[in-house]
Amino acid sequence: MNKPTIECCLSPALIDLYNVEESNVVIIDIFRATSTIAAALGNGANKIIPVDDVQECIKLGTEIENSVTAGERNGQIAEGLQYGNSPSTYKADFIEGKNLVLTTTNGTRLLYKVKHAQEIISGAFLNLGATAQYLAKQNKPLILACASWKDRFNLEDTLFAGALYDQLQDVYDTDCDSMRAAHHLYLLAKNDIFEFLRDGAHFNRLKNYGLTDDLKYCCKVDAHNNLIKFQNGELRIF
């Protein structure tokens, strides 16, 4: 039997080159949307409603019971929202049973770009293992879609794509140079991902906001090891 294909898309600006409709898609926004999603759901949030607009986020926050509005623009809490995009904010004693309405610069935008995919899975180092385990059993083309930074390639999302490929390479086939490059980079970085990323553009941007601990947290492998899917406008654990 032929193996399904795996490809990596390095920027939302390139997503139209891929056959999204017939594929499963993993959305990847390590710093920090998909890490925040993994932490909040892992710590007991009921569901997450990603929206691409701050006003919509505020509006939904008033309509949905037991909700928290959160999000950032350019790495900082967006005006009018209650919380930011910091995974360490969403501890169990705060988030358990709540509905999180979330908007971020890159992650939620990407999510709506791939909305016609067969399945949409949210991936981060925090839930790498569960994500890989699930995907290893799906016999469908797979696209690893990096949220990047305002359409620019970034190292952290690419490393995660490489990490996922590392666990899936026996069950998927690839003829995608982005996938090969991501894997090469992951193998270089895997002994200390945080250290490797210290020289990254977005790392330095967020570090300047005092977010170094947050970034360290985003590099923790399998700390909230759940499979997360986007279905009917909501992100949930499956």
Residues 43, 224: contact at Cβ < 8 Å? yes
- DSSP secondary structure letters along 57-75: HHHHHHHSTTEEEEEEETT
Lookup: tokens for 96: 């358990």
Q: Give 84's DSSP letter.
A: -
Per CB under 8 A, the segment of 49-57, 62-70, 134-142, 175-183 that binds its own copies is 175-183
Residues 30, 157: contact at Cβ < 8 Å? yes
> How far are the Cα atoms of 128, 137, 149, 174, 217 from residue 220, in angstroms, in the given order?
10, 24, 21, 27, 5
The C-alpha R_g of the chain, in whole angstroms, comes to: 16
Q: Compute the distance between CA of residue 6 and CA of residue 85 in angstroms, rounded to an integer.
A: 29
**202 part of the interface to its own copies, by CB under 8 A:** yes
Compute the least distance from the CB of residue 203 to its own copies, in Å.
9
Residue window 36-55: x/- pattern of binding to its own copies, with contact defined by CB under 8 A: --------------------
C-alpha 78, offset from chain centre: 19
Compute the least distance from the CB of residue 31 to its own copies, in Å.
11
**105 part of the interface to its own copies, by CB under 8 A:** no
Q: 4, 5, 13, 54: which one contacts its own copies (CB under 8 A)?
A: 13
**209 part of the interface to its own copies, by CB under 8 A:** no
Per CB under 8 A, the segment of 20-28, 110-118, 132-140, 148-156 that binds its own copies is 148-156
**154 part of the interface to its own copies, by CB under 8 A:** yes
Q: Compute the distance between CA of residue 123 and CA of residue 161 in angstroms, rounded to an integer.
A: 9
Compute the least distance from the CB of residue 144 to its own copies, in Å.
13
- For its own copies, how many residues bind (rule: CB under 8 A)? 27
Q: 3, 91, 116, 184: which one contacts its own copies (CB under 8 A)?
A: 184
C-alpha 115, offset from chain centre: 14
Kindly give, in sequence order, each residue whose CB lies less than 8 Å from that of residue 62, ignoring residues fewer than 6 positions away.
none
Residue window 108-147: x/- pattern of binding to its own copies, with contact defined by CB under 8 A: ----------------------------------------
Per CB under 8 A, the segment of 58-66, 95-103, 104-112, 171-179 that binds its own copies is 171-179
**185 part of the interface to its own copies, by CB under 8 A:** yes
